[in-house]
Amino acid sequence: IAVAAQRSLDAEEIMEAIRPTLGPLIIQKLCGVREPLRVMTLEGQLEGLLGQAMRADHGRRHVIEPDLGRRIVDALQHAAQPLIAEAKPFALVVQPGIRVAIRKLVRTCLPDTPVLSFFEVPEEKAVEVVAIIGGQQQQPALAA
């Protein structure tokens, strides 16, 4: 925290700076050491679009266009239903630059769903992609 605080006094920026260090602890609480981390992620083009919007958001409001936000939320809720019904923990993993905006979007409908950046997931952690969320529709992950 002290190192991050030297770079910025903004609480949100400090939190984002230390999250990669805390990632393994968050994940261990979510799925344990031996179990794979079940993740949903966003389709690449959608992440790119959201990343561009966040870079252009000089006011740092982290706002996603309402119709697009509703489609993302609907797809997330649809993909999450079976996991929630079976009490299987999962996380939404996204690019670091859009994590805050996605967390703000998701917290109203899936408040217990962790939204992590790719940097927070340790390289050695096994990951099971359970859904890829697109701007238009949710796509089930392909079985390996």
Which H/E stretch holds residue 5? helix 2-7
Query: What is the token pair recorded at 78?
Result: 């649809």
Please state, rounded to an integer, the average pLDDT across all residues of the chain. Answer: 83
Range of the domain at 29: 2-140
- CB 21 within 8 Å of CB 69: no
What pLDDT score does 128 carry?
95
Number of domains in the chain: 1
What's the CATH code of the domain at 108?
3.40.50.12790
Count of CB atoms situated within 10 Å of the CB of 75:
23
More confident residue, 61 or 118: 118
What pLDDT score does 28 carry?
81
pLDDT band, residue 42 (cuts 50/70/90): very high
pLDDT in tens, 48-87: 999 988 888 766 676 788 899 999 999 999 999 999 999 9
Can you name the residues that pair with 41 across neighbouring β-strands? 93, 132
Q: How far apart are the C-alpha atoms of 57 and 110, rounded to whole Å?
A: 24
More confident residue, 124 or 12: 124
The three-state secondary structure class of 118 is helix
CA neighbor of 129 nearest in space, from 113, 120, 140, 117: 140
* Whether pLDDT at 11 is above 80: no
Q: How far apart are the C-alpha atoms of 90 and 22, rounded to whole Å?
A: 17
Axis crossing angle, helix 99-106 with helix 11-31, rounded to the nearest 10: 70
More confident residue, 22 or 106: 106
What pLDDT score does 65 carry?
87
CA neighbor of 110 nearest in space, from 133, 127, 129: 133
